[in-house]
Amino acid sequence: MTLVLQTVVAEFIDGVVRAYGPFVIPVAFFVAGAVGYVVLVALGRAGIGEGLTEARADDSDDPTDPTEDEADR
């Protein structure tokens, strides 16, 4: 099954490169990055993830912080 899937994927990539040229690969990475950025902006505007920075700030007061020296406690 794995060999069949690898063959299908390889043929698909080969077909896309033959049809559009090798420039399609960086364009695909750019499009994927742009879509990911838009998703993150949409999530930020929807308020998903609010409070994460405050939670991290509260954690920095943890007495078991490894960045502190024993003498500082």
Reported as a single tens digit per residue, the pLDDT across 4-50 is: 889 999 999 899 999 999 899 899 999 999 999 999 999 999 888 77
Give the closest residue to 25 by CA, choosing from 14, 40, 39, 36.
14
Q: What is the pTM of this model?
A: 0.52
- Give me the residue spans of the domains in the chain: 1-39
Are the beta carbons of 41 and 49 closer than 8 angstroms?
no
**Residue 3 pLDDT grade (very low, low, confident, very high; cuts 50, 70, 90):** confident
In this prediction, residue 31 carries a pLDDT of 97
